[in-house]
Amino acid sequence: VAKSRGRNRTVIFDEALHTTLIRRIQLEADLREALAAGSLWVAYQPIFDLRTGACAKAEALVRWNHPTLGPISPLEFIAIAEQSDLIHQVGEFVLDTACRDARLLREQGFPNLRMSVNMSLRQVDRAGIIDVIYATLERHRLVPAALCLEVTESTIAADDLASVRIFQTLSEKGIHLSIDDFGTGYSSLARLLNLKVNQLKIDRSFVTDLPVEPDNRLIVEGIIALAHALDLEVVAEGVENREQLDVLRGLGCDHVQGYYFARPSAIHEFIPAVGQAKSLSDPG
Ligand code: C2E
Ligand code: MG
Ligand code: MG
Ligand code: MG
């Protein structure tokens, strides 16, 4: 198709592809170095219980400050890591760091804090993942319920019996399971029940226009009703303003996470950030 439209098209297409490929190859090599040099780090964003106003959970979010390109989005470098074997190293680094910091926070005023760690399908697929998770919990003296694994709908929808069994084993042990970006993929209700999922996370895209978009309100209302009918907790992510918070509260959402309360921050800024977060009982 490109060729039939003339030579220029072909050149533009090839250049774009070339640039993308070069960046990918470069980032993969640089990520390998960053892992070896220990320059990845983990940011934490608090998640608040809407009823009590307390910070009940936190989400661990990996960060990479590239030496020349600056901060690279995890959406970009996790995808690159997933296409190579680097995802296992990145995943183990995040799990270990998040568990270490969960222990710290549990000793410093958040005795029941549950730490959420994002996991990609490729990580779950790997033999030995269960042992890695148990060993990490033990190393940091954490009970299984201190850890929540966040996986996307597509991860649990995958027609892969091995990963279904792994999730079942982890949940029988007491580790929590959360479905991230819920509403953007397809997941069967049977699968949600079968896996003993504990939590649904409403995707940010539904929260953004929540106060003005009737469709989004219906979707959010539906997800909350579904979660409660299945006895699951529901978290809304990406809450950026008071209007969104008010609607979520009115609809009976359990937990909220977003820039309105606190941005993800380094561990030493987490406790001050929670202290400064807008109070959930504050009327205005
Ligand atoms: P996610 O798991 O859905 O994480 C939520 C994303 O929304 C985070 O982006 C967070 O910084 C951002 N966010 C939180 N509150 C707000 C808000 O009020 N407004 C807006 N605009 N954004 C908000 P981040 O840190 O860039 O991560 C993007 C995605 O990268 C994550 O989406 C997750 O899918 C992936 N990711 C991050 N860390 C890891 C990791 O350690 N392992 C894996 N496998 N994936 C990760
Ligand atoms: Mg997540
Ligand atoms: Mg999410
Ligand atoms: Mg999301």
Asked if residue 78 has its Cβ within 6 Å of ligand 1, the reply is yes
3-class SS of residue 227: helix
Asked if residue 94 has its Cβ within 6 Å of ligand 1, the reply is yes
> How far, in Å, from the CA of 2 to the mean position of ligand 1?
36
So what's the ipTM on this one? Answer: 0.98
CB contact at 8 A, 91 and 85: no
CA distance 240 to 112: 26
Residue whose CA is closest, atom 9 of ligand 1? Answer: 61
> How far, in Å, from the CA of 199 to the mean position of ligand 2?
12
244-268, pLDDT tens digit by residue? Answer: 999 999 999 999 999 999 999 999 9
Q: From the CB of residue 76, how many other CB atoms can be counted at a distance below 10 Å? A: 13
Q: Is the dihedral of CA 272, 274, 279, 281 positive or negative?
A: negative
User: Burial of 24 by CB count in 10 Å (0-12 exposed, 13-18 middle, 19+ buried)?
Assistant: middle
Residue whose CA is closest, atom 13 of ligand 1? Answer: 238
Residue 206 has a pLDDT of 96
The atom of ligand 1 lying closest to the CA of 120 is 44
118-155, pLDDT tens digit by residue? Answer: 999 888 878 899 999 999 999 999 999 999 999 988 88
Could you tell me the pTM of the whole model? 0.94
Ligand number, closest to the Cα atom of 120: 1
Strands, E assignment, the chain: 40-49, 55-66, 70-72, 114-118, 147-152, 176-182, 199-202, 233-236, 255-256
Asked if residue 180 has its Cβ within 6 Å of ligand 1, the reply is yes
